[in-house]
Structures are given as C-alpha cells and as structure tokens.
C-alpha cells in the first residue's frame, strides 16, 4: 500500500502545481486585459486540471472503499481527499479571475511585471502558499504548514493596501472598473485563505 499512497501523493502534487500555474496565468491575464491569455487558462483547466482531479478522486475513493487500510493509511487518503476538494475550489477561483480579463482595465497594462494594486506579488505569494500547504501533507513536514500560515500576513498587508487605494480613488466614472479589480483582489485573497485552510490540518 505504501507504493500506492506515494503514487497518490505524486498525483496530488502535480495537480497542485497545475492549479498554482493556472492561478498565476489568470492573474496575469486579468492585469494585462489579455483575453487570449484568459482563454488559455480555461483550456489548461480542461486539458490538465480536470484530468488531475479525476485521477486523485478515483484513487482516493478506490483506496478508501476497496482496500484494507490501517488507521494511518486511511487518514492519509482522507487528507488527500480533503486537499482535492480545496484544490477544486482554487481551480475555480483561477477561472473566475480569468473571466474578469475582458472587463477590467489596469493602468500599467504594457508593463510586464507591474500593476498598481500589487496583484503580481499577491499571486506569487499565494501560489507559494498553495505549494507549501500541499507539501506539508506530502512530506509530513509541519514546517511547510506553519510557513504557509505566516505568509498570510504578507497577503493581508498587500490586500489592505490595494483595498485602501481602490476606495480612495473610486468615482462615479470608474466604480464599475474598480469593482471588477476589487473582485480580482478578493479572489486572490480567498485563494490564500484556502491554502491556510489546508495547512492548518498539518501544523
């Protein structure tokens, strides 16, 4: 059974990596108002993430119900299934962000790694948090989980700055656009919250 559980963990790690990558892709698409890039996020989800979700779900269900597992093995399978559910939420968040690409306008669209609301660093940190939270389960190292929770303070700081900037600059003319940008910011923060939810199980 050890070999099967290691295979499950590998597939979960791969799924997590794909979700992280698609989240960052979606953020880039929205901040650059790149509809083509946003479309590629939906294609990536369909081609790779859906397949990964199916594989992990299949294995967790099969192992939990058709194998004779000891208590530790059963806990590992249940933990993997919990992480799968959270990664499914994260994958949907990425698509929700990609959906906004056509409707939001940032000031620094032409500057590759710059946006005025700190979404790139928020996205980078959040992707790292997702990675660490899953790695805490895969490796059994609670340090990764603790680090994930600490990183949330960085996200909160960036979020607070972005929210204050949006509130300070809203007018009747730009309220629709800024509400869309706020939605993207909120979605990234939500993704960070979910990574903390995963990590909290392994501290």
Task: Break the chain into its structural domains and give their ranges.
Answer: 2-199
Q: How many angstroms separate the CA atoms of 120 and 51, rounded? A: 27
| CATH of the domain spanning 2-199 | 1.20.58.220
- Cα dihedral across residues 133, 139, 144, 145: positive or negative: positive
> What pLDDT does residue 115 have?
72
The answer to whether the beta carbons of residues 48 and 120 sit under 8 Å apart is: no
21 CB-near residues (< 8 Å, 6+ apart): 44, 127
**pLDDT, tens digit (0-9, with 9 covering 90-100), for 109-158:** 565 456 789 999 999 999 999 999 999 999 999 999 999 999 999 999 99
**pLDDT, tens digit (0-9, with 9 covering 90-100), for 49-81:** 999 999 999 999 999 999 999 999 999 999 999
Residue 170 main-chain phi, psi, to 5 deg: -75, 135
Number of other residues whose CB lies within 10 A of the CB of residue 112:
9
**Model confidence, pTM:** 0.95
Q: How many CA atoms lie within 13 A of 97 on its CB side?
A: 33
Number of other residues whose CB lies within 10 A of the CB of residue 24:
18
Q: How many angstroms separate the CA atoms of 82 and 86, rounded? A: 7
> What pLDDT does residue 91 have?
98
Q: What distances in angstroms separate CA 57 from CA 8, 22, 45, 61, one per listed residue?
A: 10, 20, 16, 6
Q: Is the pLDDT of residue 163 over 80?
A: yes
């Amino acid at each position: 059974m050890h070999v099967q559980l290691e295979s499950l963990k590998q597939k979960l790690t791969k799924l997590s990596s794909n979700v992280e990558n698609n989240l960052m892709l979606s953020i880039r698409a929205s901040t650059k108002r790149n509809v083509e890039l946003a479309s590629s996020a939906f294609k990536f989800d369909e081609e790779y993430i859906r397949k990964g979700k199916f594989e992990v779900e299949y294995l967790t269900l099969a192992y939990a119900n058709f194998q004779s597992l000891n208590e530790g093995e059963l806990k590992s399978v249940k933990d993997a299934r919990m992480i799968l559910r959270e990664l499914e939420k994260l994958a949907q968040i990425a698509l929700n962000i990609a959906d906004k690409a056509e409707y939001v306008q940032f000031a620094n669209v032409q500057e590759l790694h710059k946006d005025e609301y700190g979404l790139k660093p928020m996205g980078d940190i959040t992707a790292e948090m997702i990675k660490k939270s899953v790695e805490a389960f895969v490796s059994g190292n609670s340090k990764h989980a603790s680090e994930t929770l600490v990183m949330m303070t960085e996200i909160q700081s960036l979020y607070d700055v972005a929210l204050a900037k949006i509130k300070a600059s809203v007018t009747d003319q730009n309220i629709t656009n800024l509400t869309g940008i706020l939605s993207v910011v909120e979605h990234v923060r939500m993704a960070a919250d979910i990574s903390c939810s995963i990590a909290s199980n392994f501290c």
